[in-house]
Structure 1
Amino acid sequence: MGGTVTTVSSHGEHAFSKANRPAITLLAGLGVEGDAHAGVTVQHRSRVARDPTQPNLRQVHLIHEELFDEVAAAGFTVAPGELGENITTRGIDLLGLPTGTLLRIGREAVVEVTGLRNPCGQIDGFRAGLLKQVVGRDEETGEIVRKAGIMGIVRTGGVVRPGDPIEAELPDGPHHPLERV
């Protein structure tokens, strides 16, 4: 199971969107070099306010570019990096991966999938009504469905560029579905 990196993004300050870059460097145990969310402990402001000693399970944010196609059909224009992701992908079912999947990205980098991004109201601040497009309910089960990407931690550092391949290595069973982190 694999795909391709289409865009890489980072931002040195806490901001909703991240600037597209020609490359980003992933640092083992930290995240994206120079990104405001890099660190061993939580860096997201709301999580720091609750408990700054929590481990940072959100070092790298990945979104499937197919989501942008989906929201475009509903009238929303969203470009890579605008939802705060570090790595935009195509051709890999990120949301279908189990917790603990290793994503081998480019020549060296390895990211371990920790869970789903839990979209917040800032998405509606970016584009009014967009939150309903990325969070909904399964029509059959009534369960909440989060589509705004996945989060991970850097196991092995390396440079990541657009065009790099991504290969998913599933963990030994049993597989656990992604939950919000």
Structure 2
Amino acid sequence: MARVEAVCISDRKGVVKKAVSQVELRTQWGIESDAHAGKWHRQVSLLAGESIDQVKEILPELEQGAFAENIITRGLDLAALPLGSRLRIGATAELEITQIGKECHNIGCAIKRATGDCIMPREGIFARVVTGGTVTAGDEIVRLS
């Protein structure tokens, strides 16, 4: 079963995010109180916990949110999800995958300096919020399409 390992937010773009107990996803907006929320296609970022584990072998002190990810997943092959895929998280939240990977903002960004690597450009998945809802660590993730 795929699940949410952690949820993270920040009030600025381009910095590490902080793990929080829960987030509120707002339809067509993103995560309340997160710098990436807005009317665009990258409202929420997801990163597989399995990808983070590989970096933690080198840097075990990494904390959740180190790659500026909003939702850390476990047991879901994010790399296999095509654009347009839909995920239900928890009871009501629904995301649509809009982008796979991204161009790094800046050579030597804060994330790369903190972690030694920025895996989001290669392994990050981005989504828009189709249906809002509360998301917490431990919530089930179901692929709808």
TM over 0.5: yes
> Quick one: which of 119, 124, 127 aligns to 2:112?
124
How many aligned positions are there?
140
- Gaps of at least 5 residues in structure 2 are none
Does residue 60 of structure 1 match 2:36? no
How many angstroms apart in 2 are the aligned matches of 1:6 and 1:69? 12
- Say which structure, 1 or 2, has more relative contact order (CA 8 Å, 6+ apart): 2
- In the other structure, the counterpart of 1:146 is 122
Q: Tell me by how many angstroms 1:151 deviates.
A: 0.2
Residue matched to 1:165: 140
* SS in structure 2 of the partner of residue 154 of structure 1: strand
Partner of 2:18: 19
Corresponding position: 1:72 with 2:34: no
Identity of matched residues, %: 36
Q: What secondary structure, in the 3-state scheme, does the structure 1 residue paired with 2:56 have?
A: helix
CA shift, 1:150, in A, is 0.2
Greater C-alpha Rg: 1
Structure 2 match to 1:39: 38
What is the DSSP-based 3-state SS (H/G/I as helix, E as strand, rest coil) of the residue aligned with 2:113?
helix
TM-score normalized with structure 1 length: 0.72
Question: Which residues of structure 1 form unaligned runs of 5+?
Answer: 41-55, 136-144, 171-181
CA RMSD, Structure 1 to Structure 2 (Å): 1.8
